[in-house]
Chains A and B, each alone.
Chain A
Amino acid sequence: MALLAQVLLNGVLLGGLYAIMALGLALVWGVLNIVNLAHGAFIMLGGYLAWHLFTDLGIDPFLGLPITAVAMFALGYVVQRGLLNFVVRAPMFNTLLITFGIEVVITYLAQLAFSADFRTINPGYAGNNVKLGSVIIPEVRFIAFAVAIVLTLGMWIFLLKTRLGRAIRATAQNLVAARLYGVEPRHLYAMTFGIGIGLAGIAGSLYGAVSQINPYIGAALTAKCFAISIIGGLDNPLGVIVGGIVLGVIESLALLYVGATFGDVASFCVLVAVLIIRPSGLLGRTA
């Protein structure tokens, strides 16, 4: 029983991190209709940025989040405005391919710049635990979880309440109508992509604090983000929290009960099942 509780807790903590990883992908997908295959690579870049801030400048990974977020936002804005913008209205294959190409380029540049070694961000409190009954809560994981959940909720409020957030949602619903109401789509698309990549940067910093990063983790992370976005649905940031936690718990349970190699099988089977039964996601409105 204690083991089960511990596994469930691990799954939930992992799920919070998954949520913020997928949030940027879901946002870009929902608004720009681009499935960004390079999303995982941007998460990886964020992780390295946080790692360098920590090892070279001694900035704590959690305190360094604003720096990473702003830098990655700027990168995202430039990539959208200077590159993706040229193919936004092209068929779906093309947007998939161009982001795949960007993924390849980022991965290779990262390998040249950071070498292929595994890196972990190890602040002094990395090994600290809190005991709650028979369950152990690793401090770093809990902080990462809390930050991820708070930011995801913040994103939700941002999309609901602010002028920019409303413009983003309007564009996602109907580009032509949004344009008629004075939304400048090129700037708005770049802002949205920038926010998505900024979130990827934050997710990468948190990921680097609880796990290991190397230049090749991007593709697998993208696949996970896909799964989470689908399970949670695209039109609501709260969906990503549900999707992330569902995936995290399923993976942890599968690891315990079926064996290590089946962790991914379980999550992908759930993904296919959700797709077939409810293509708009668990929380999504039916299309």
Chain B
Amino acid sequence: MTKPRLAIVATALVVLLLAAIPWFGSDVVVQFGISTLLLAVLAQSWNIIGGYCGYPSFGNSTFYGLGSYGVAIAMAQWNLPFAVGMCLGAALAVIFAFLLGLPVLRLKGHYFAIATLALALAMTAIVSNVGIAGQNIGLVLPPLNNDFLFYELSLGLLVIATLVVFWLTKSRFGFGLIAIRENEEAAAVMGVNTTLYKVLAFALSGLFTALAGGIHAYWITFLDPDSAFDIGLNVKMIIMAVFGGPGSVLGPVLGAFVLSAISEVLASEITTVAGLFFGVVVVAAVVLMPRGLADLSRRFKSEGWRYFANNIKNYRL
């Protein structure tokens, strides 16, 4: 078997193994699994706009919130089924991506990051004043005590998101995004419709983020503006994607798994200073492996421990 085919078979085996976890794992494991899988979906969605297109979005938590509220409004206010709520949330996110993507995606670098951050902050306050969204009290969804279903849904969503990212590495659209990341003017000159590609990437990223938000809302059965539009979550997805390796197919997923496991272990072992250690891990990771786990696994074999020293040498002043 050739090497890429081996990787695909190995990935498929891991997915099957993950799918089997609810049959033999305890409740705690399954719940940890659901939240980790959803975080992995978020990291992977951010990877589309941030990793491939090179636009550091801090507005993805807005999509997450819209997805959550789509499900919550449909189920709690209109008594519609979950699937309809998911469609509503996804539609809201895609519309938002198109409407605000057009002006905001004209900005670059830090400016784009801050504009999206500001939009996300504004959304929290706006939703707190919308009657149908329960204002700042929030909404309570009908409970469904079926962690098995939530687990398999989250895993399914992660697989689809990852397949889409894999498709990016093979398709004209994906090459267009990478061209925009590397040099937007050059991409435009080569005939890439940069505005369209960027907005589509933003919408695609928003779509998966919203679906993850919808699943999370139904699973938790409660949401309020502060938790649904939490900027901290956006920072988390960026950290996971960058820790794993932005612009790679499996890096963000790996990053989400590893960081969730680390913070879970820290939270249970040393509760009081868990957050502190998380901060230290982030700082150390940025200094020692600035290109993420994906790059580490590629280059560690040839460079050994010098890999870390080389990174510092490359990026220090």
A262 contacts across to B, CB distance below 8 A: 125, 129
Contacts of A250 in B (CB 8 A): none
Chain B residues within 8 Å of A112, by CB: 272-273, 276
Would A261 and B125 count as touching, CB distance under 8 A? yes
Interchain nearest-CB distance for A264 vs B (Å): 6
In the complex, how many angstroms separate the beta carbon of A73 from the nearest chain B beta carbon?
19
Q: Annotate A133-174 by CB proximity to B: 1 below 8 A, 0 otherwise.
A: 000000000000000000000000000000000000000000
Q: Provide the residues of chain A in CB contact with B7, threshold 8 Å.
A: none
Query: Residues of A contacting B87 with CB < 8 Å?
Result: none
B316 to A87, Cβ gap below 8 A? yes
Name the contact of A98 in the complex, choosing from B125, B278, B287, B316 (C-beta under 8 A): B287
Min Cβ gap A28→B in Å is: 12
Query: Does B317 sit within 8 A of A, measured CB to CB?
Result: yes
How many B residues touch the partner, as a band? 35 or more
Shortest beta-carbon distance, A107 to chain B, in Å?
8
Taking the complex as formed, is B233 at the interface, i.e. its CB lies under 8 A from any CB of chain A? no
CB neighbours (8 Å) of A268 from chain B are: 118-119, 121-122
A83-B287, A88-B317, A275-B114 known; A102+B107 contact, CB < 8 A: no
Highest count of chain A CB atoms <10 Å: which of B106, B109, B121: B121
Beta-carbon nearest neighbor of A80 in chain B? B317
B221-247, CB under 8 A of A: which get 1 and which 0? 000000000010001001100100010
Interface assignment of A182: CB less than 8 Å from any CB of chain B: no
Query: At the interface, yes or no: A96 with Cβ under 8 Å from chain B?
Result: yes
Q: Indicate the member of A87, A226, A230 with the most B CB atoms within 10 Å.
A: A87
A226 to B114, CA, bound (A): 7
CA distance A112 to B106 in the complex (A): 43
Give the interface SS of chain A, mostly helix, strand, loop or mixed: helix
Alpha-carbon distance between A105 and B312 when the two chains are bound, in angstroms: 21
With a cutoff of 8 Å between Cβ atoms, the chain A residues found around residue B312 in the complex are: 86
B316 touches A86 (CB 8 A): yes
Question: Which residues of A, 55-104, contact B by the 8 Å Cβ criterion?
Answer: 83, 85-94, 96-98, 100-104
The answer for the CA separation of A271 and B278 in the assembled complex, in Å, is 31
Q: List which A243-287 residues lie within 8 A (CB) of chain B.
A: 259, 261-262, 264-265, 268-269, 271-272, 275-276, 279
Query: Are A89 and B315 neighbours in the complex by a CB distance under 8 Å?
Result: yes
Q: Does A35 contact B (CB under 8 A)?
A: yes
**Chain A, Cβ-Cβ closest to B315:** A90
Residue B33, interface by CB 8 Å: no
Determine whether the beta carbon of A89 is less than 8 Å from that of B314.
yes
Which residues of the partner chain A approach B38 to less than 8 Å between Cβ atoms? none
Complex: chain B residue closest to A29, CB-CB? B110
Given known pairs A90-B315, A265-B126, the reply for A101 and B286 (CB within 8 Å) is yes
- Asked whether, in the complex, the Cβ of B136 is within 8 Å of the Cβ of A261, the reply is yes
CB–CB A93/B246 < 8 A? yes
**Residue contact A230 to B111, C-beta cutoff 8 Å:** yes
B65 at interface by CB-CB < 8 Å: no
Instruction: Tell me, in angstroms, the Cα distance from A104 to B280 when the chains sit together.
Output: 8
Please report the C-alpha to C-alpha distance between residue A102 and residue B276 in the assembled complex, in whole angstroms. 9
Q: Is A189 an interface residue (CB 8 A)?
A: yes
A97 / chain B contacts, CB cutoff of 8 Å: 238-239, 242, 282, 286
In the complex, chain A residues whose CB is within 8 Å of the CB of B125: 261-262, 264-265
B232 closest partner in A (C-beta): A219
Q: How far is the CB of A224 from chain B (nearest CB, A)?
A: 10
Determine if A240 is an interface residue (Cβ-Cβ < 8 Å). Answer: no
Kindly state the separation between the CA atoms of A219 and B58 in the bound complex, as whole angstroms. 14
In the complex, A104 Cα to B281 Cα: how many Å? 11
CB within 8 Å of A: which B41-87 residues: 50, 56
Asked if A223 is at the interface of the complex by the 8 Å CB criterion, the answer is yes
B283 at the interface (CB under 8 A from A): yes
Q: How far is the CB of A97 from chain B (nearest CB, A)?
A: 5
User: How distant is A53 from chain B, measured CB to nearest CB, in Å?
Assistant: 25
Instruction: Name the interface residues of B231-285: CB closer than 8 Å to any CB of A.
Output: 231, 235, 238-239, 242, 246, 272-273, 275-276, 278-283
The 6 closest A-B pairs by CB, nearest first: A104-B279, A101-B282, A101-B283, A105-B279, A268-B118, A108-B276
Enumerate 29 A-B pairs (CB-CB under 8 Å) in ascending A order.
Answer: A29-B110, A83-B283, A83-B287, A87-B287, A89-B317, A93-B242, A94-B242, A94-B286, A94-B315, A96-B238, A97-B242, A98-B286, A100-B239, A101-B282, A104-B279, A112-B276, A186-B317, A223-B121, A226-B114, A226-B117, A261-B136, A262-B125, A268-B118, A268-B122, A271-B115, A272-B115, A272-B118, A275-B115, A276-B107
List 19 additional A-B contacts (Cβ < 8 Å) besides A92-B109, A98-B286, A101-B286: A86-B316, A87-B286, A88-B315, A88-B317, A89-B314, A89-B317, A93-B238, A94-B315, A96-B113, A96-B238, A97-B282, A100-B282, A112-B276, A227-B118, A230-B111, A261-B136, A262-B125, A275-B114, A276-B106
